[in-house]
Structure 1
Amino acid sequence: MVSHRFALFLLFSTVASGFSPTFLSHPPVRQDVSLWSSTADEATAVSIDAKEAVKLFGRLADKYIMLDSSGGMCCYSACSDCEYRLPGGGYRMADQSSSRPKWICSYDERNFETLGKEHTSKWNTDIFTNGPAVTKEEFIQAMVDIPYNPPLGGPYVGASSATIEDTTGASLLFDLLAGKKEKLTKYRMGTRIKELAGGEEGLTWAGFSAAMMPEA
């Protein structure tokens, strides 16, 4: 009983003297949030409409493409032992043409001297006008300015409706081609086009749309 009264006495004495008992509480919990992003992740997170993708494809695709110089040596007479025949029965072609833009070439320029043929890709002529590399801003502006032709593949978009007002697609395309580089070079663009085309010399709408709209 004495000890209990003594404890109460100390408590009231402490309050009376201007001090208050300290009650311990849990310290605030600190949360470390890591914010990160990368060009590739941002590119895959962005989606564009198929018609917007067609506007880009129609600015880069060619009606003509040079393929295999050895194909021009074939007589195309279905010889059984022809070294220029493909396993599936077709022929190695030196070049191909289309009535509408069909291929984004994997080369900036190509020359088959023995056949007397040469070709400069549309993207080389229209994008790399001032040198072998462009920044993202220069690439986007070039895509806006490049003349458009309705290509082979994808939903039809007429020339009068092909103005690029939203540059999201052009920005995405630059990231797809340049990766994390600040500039896109001719060599890099040609290499990436061939990768996206699965090793073929030209990227058609099927491969282009799969790269630009992976969720479609």
Structure 2
Amino acid sequence: MMKLLLALLLTTFVKGFVPSLSSTQRQGGSQLYSTAEEVSIEPKDVVRLFGRLAEKYIMLDESGGMCCYSGCKDCEYRLPDGGYRMADQSAARPKWIPVYEERNFSGQNKEHKTKWSTEIFSEGPSVTKEEFVKALSEMQYAPPLGGPFVGATAGQIEDSAAAEKLFDMLAGEKDKLARFKMSVQLKELAKGEQGLTWKDFAAAMGVQ
């Protein structure tokens, strides 16, 4: 009986010196679990977005159309790397997500309205995340230049995680994404270029 009493007293004494988990420690464990639960985005899912938003044609600099492209000495339209300042460019497959909503070169009788501005914002100047994902899913997909190859028949969006991430990236903390805001964000991602290519789009989405 005496031994049992001593054992109980010893147990109580030891418990008094063992610190309980703090709220911070408990939260830390919860955060670790939450991080492990984060959804990873597959590169091919990002290609499915890029292949909807990217275009084969882009308008660049209206003044570039005044060049004769004959290699004239001291040509004002030549670039430091030896290339030319171009009015527009075309590619065999979708290559650029234009940063502008629409562009008009009246002197050359050229006009371009971007896919994203007309198809995502077809019902108004702003969209919710749900509307954004739906509109993006309904856009026509074509295998783009860049990223792992995804054929036209495999271009459907079955997992909306990538599209939702793109919305969050463009809209920030807003519940709606405005058309002009998307243009502003695309310009930032394009780093001064007139179109967003696969390399920068993939980097922004966190894939290689």
TM normalised by structure 1 equals 0.79
Query: What runs of 5+ residues in structure 1 fail to find an aligned partner?
Result: 1-22
* AA at the equivalent of 2:188: E
Residue matched to 2:175: 182
Match of 1:92, SS? coil
Large movers: runs of 4+ above 3 Å: 23-26, 28-35
* Larger Rg belongs to: 1
Q: Post-superposition shift, 1:175?
A: 0.9
Q: Post-superposition shift, 1:66?
A: 0.2
**Aligned residues between the structures:** 187
Q: Deviations over 1:67-112 (max 9, x none)?
A: 0011011111111111111111111000000111110010010001
2: CA distance between counterparts of 1:139 and 1:159?
21
Describe how 1:57-72 pairs up with structure 2 within 5 A: 57-72=50-65
Match of 1:153, SS? coil
Q: Deviations over 1:165-208 (max 9, x none)?
A: 11000001111111111111111111111211111000011111
Q: Post-superposition shift, 1:115?
A: 1.1
Residue matched to 1:161: 154
2: CA distance between counterparts of 1:200 and 1:154?
20
The root-mean-square deviation of aligned C-alpha atoms, in Å, is 2.3
TM normalised by structure 2 equals 0.82
Greater helix share, 1 or 2? Answer: 2
Q: Deviations over 1:122-166 (max 9, x none)?
A: 111210001111111100111111111111111111111111111
1:55 equivalenced with 2:56 (yes/no) = no
2: CA distance between counterparts of 1:181 and 1:87?
41
2: CA distance between counterparts of 1:46 and 1:133?
27
Match of 1:110, SS? strand
Match of 1:76, SS? coil
2: CA distance between counterparts of 1:46 and 1:210?
17
1:139 equivalenced with 2:132 (yes/no) = yes
Match of 2:134, SS? helix
* AA at the equivalent of 1:178: A
Query: What runs of 5+ residues in structure 2 fail to find an aligned partner?
Result: 1-11
1:97 equivalenced with 2:54 (yes/no) = no
Residue matched to 1:128: 121
Verify the 8 A CA contact 1:67 1:201 in the aligned structure 2.
yes
Match of 1:139, SS? helix
1: CA distance between counterparts of 2:58 and 2:179?
17
Match of 1:124, SS? helix
2: CA distance between counterparts of 1:47 and 1:57?
17
Q: Post-superposition shift, 1:29?
A: 6.2
> Percent sequence identity over matched residues?
58
2: CA distance between counterparts of 1:63 and 1:116?
19
